[in-house]
Amino acid sequence: MDKFFGEVQEPVSPHGQYFNSSVMCSYVFGFLELAIPFDNSLAIPLLKDVFIPINPRFSSIMVKDVEGKMRWQKVEVKPEEHLKIPIFPETINSSSCELYDKYVSNYVTSILNGRTPQNKPLWEIHIINYPTTNAACTIIFKLNHALGDGYSLMSALLSCLQRADDPSLPLSFPSQRPQLNSKYAKINLFEKLCFVISSFFSSISDFGSSILKTRMIKDDKTPIRSGYEGAESQPFILSNITLSLDQIKGVKTKLGVTINDVVTGMIFYGIRLYMEEKNEKTKTSNSTAVVMLNTRNIGGYQSVKEMQKPESKGLWGNKISFLQIPIPKMCQSKISNPLEFVWNTRELIKRKRRSFSVYLIALLLDLEMKLRGSEVVAKIIYNTTGNSSVLMSNIVGPVEKMTLANHPVNGLCFTMTNGPENVNITIISYMNVLRITLKTLKGFIDEQKLKFCIEKAVKVISEAAMEISEISTKN
């Protein structure tokens, strides 16, 4: 057991308590795929000198103070207790990579649902030094969501890495500057007033539907939603789809939308294709995707040092909210024109983003937290994802190739665990590649068929977009 220093630090945020409760214990998994085998002798020094000092929470545990409030307490960390290096059977044959693919897949499935000890800092590092189809070595970061959200944890992970071409230069990221709404700027005062009134009533409607979705209304049972109780404790499988960013950008330009619109539309279309193939009657079923959002009012990543400056107080942690997006239903017109899924998705997300319901829900959760406690709010969040069909999240990754202690990083992906949803989809960019990771309920979701349907959706939408001679007037 790690030794207690007795130094009680900052309070655990409400989100930190929700994500590490008896109702749900959520983890973010980051996967680094290395081009060469990792030198295991470097692991402990890297943890001591680089990883643990990144943030005080990596050397703290959650405890109750004398007033019964949860706080972070500093402990002495023994890195070797957080480091896992599995041993697989040795194999020497031409298909060894494919065999190790299975070993790694089974190993990942085995660690997805397990909780890390509460009397130690809430993280683990797994080094799988066996060659797979994608990597010579795979390093897995298992980080409790209470430590921070995807933005915080990605910043922490990136602080351990360097640019391959020049380690002295910082990693750079695609521009994330918010686009100005030029159409809104040009309309007159009366039209702006109508817009505000429309947004107000839309927000009230969205807020009401979100409350109903959380408390009463569930998505239909379909090939992507079993309705099983306690699904989060069942085994899950990971599979990946790799897309060219140039291909996605080509579709984006043709349709006059954003990259997120294109990717989300493709995924939604692929999900509907999968549902139709598994059960033709479910093409018109009510299915919802919960899309996680970063609520920080900044354009891109900041280094961990910048995030911890006094003037940047509050950037580290869980600054997230969510949108509940109805997955467009399959009908004959949309089969003949799959681009409708992209345009439909764009309009749904734009309307939801303009809504104030996200802030109203946050206020309601804060009130519930004060009146009824974190366990009740954790149950509300649990029900929100459990009553929906899909959970989605995306992170922007670096443009340049990275290294970890001079070990080139060929690939990067992530996932989240211990939610009740049967399908969890995460998206990250790295260099000129977009990686979609599917976490699916083993034995219920046919992960290979779902992957095939999403890949088919990408192909169909890309081909349809290339036939457009000019930007659609639907935008």
Non-local CB neighbours of 81 within 8 Å, separated by 6+ positions: 2, 120
* Local structure of 332: helix, strand or coil: helix
User: Which DSSP string do the residues of 363-429 spell out, in sequence order?
Assistant: HHHHHHHHHH-HHHHHHHHHHHHHTSSEEEEEE---SS-EEETTEEEEEEEEEEES-S-SEEEEEEE
Cα separation, 432 vs 243, whole angstroms: 9
Determine the pLDDT at residue 311. Answer: 47
Chain mean position to CA 403: 23
Determine the pLDDT at residue 228. Answer: 86
Residue that has been written with the tokens 């930190």 in this structure = 16
* Local structure of 163: helix, strand or coil: strand
Angle at CA of residue 29, ends 24 and 33, nearest 5°: 170
**What are the tens digits of pLDDT across the range 229-274?**
888 889 999 999 999 999 999 999 999 899 989 999 999 999 999 9
Bridge partners for 440 per DSSP: 237, 423
Beta strand pairing status for 320-326 and 27-34? Answer: unpaired
| CB 318, CB 19: distance < 8 Å | yes
pLDDT beneath 70, residues of the chain = 1-8, 92-95, 150, 175-216, 293-321, 332-336, 353-358, 469-475
| CB 438, CB 241: distance < 8 Å | yes
* Local structure of 457: helix, strand or coil: helix
285: DSSP letter: -
Determine the pLDDT at residue 66. Answer: 79
**What is the identity of the amino acid at 214?**
T
| CB 56, CB 72: distance < 8 Å | yes
Cα separation, 29 vs 38, whole angstroms: 19
| CB 57, CB 121: distance < 8 Å | yes
Q: Is the dihedral of CA 162, 163, 167, 173 positive or negative?
A: negative
Determine the pLDDT at residue 340. Answer: 85
Portions of the chain given CATH number 3.30.559.10: 4-163
The CATH architecture assigned to 4-163 reads 2-Layer Sandwich (3.30)
| CB 346, CB 265: distance < 8 Å | yes
Give how far Cα 150 sits from Cα of 266, 365, 414, Å: 23, 21, 9
pTM value is: 0.86
Closest CA to 293 of 149, 397, 439, 389: 149
Phi-psi region of 6 (alpha: psi -120 to 50; beta: other; left: phi over 0): left
**What are the tens digits of pLDDT across the range 399-443?**
899 999 999 999 999 999 888 899 999 999 999 999 999 999 999
Angle at CA of residue 452, ends 451 and 457, nearest 5°: 100
Angle at CA of residue 416, ends 376 and 171, nearest 5°: 125
Determine the pLDDT at residue 223. Answer: 95
Cα separation, 117 vs 96, whole angstroms: 34
Portions of the chain given CATH number 3.30.559.30: 182-399+420-466
Phi and psi of 216, rounded to 5°? Answer: -130, -50
Cα separation, 295 vs 336, whole angstroms: 37
442: DSSP letter: T
State which fold the 182-399+420-466 domain adopts: Chloramphenicol Acetyltransferase (3.30.559)
Cα separation, 296 vs 320, whole angstroms: 8
Cα separation, 235 vs 114, whole angstroms: 10
- Name the strand (E) or helix (H) holding 173: none
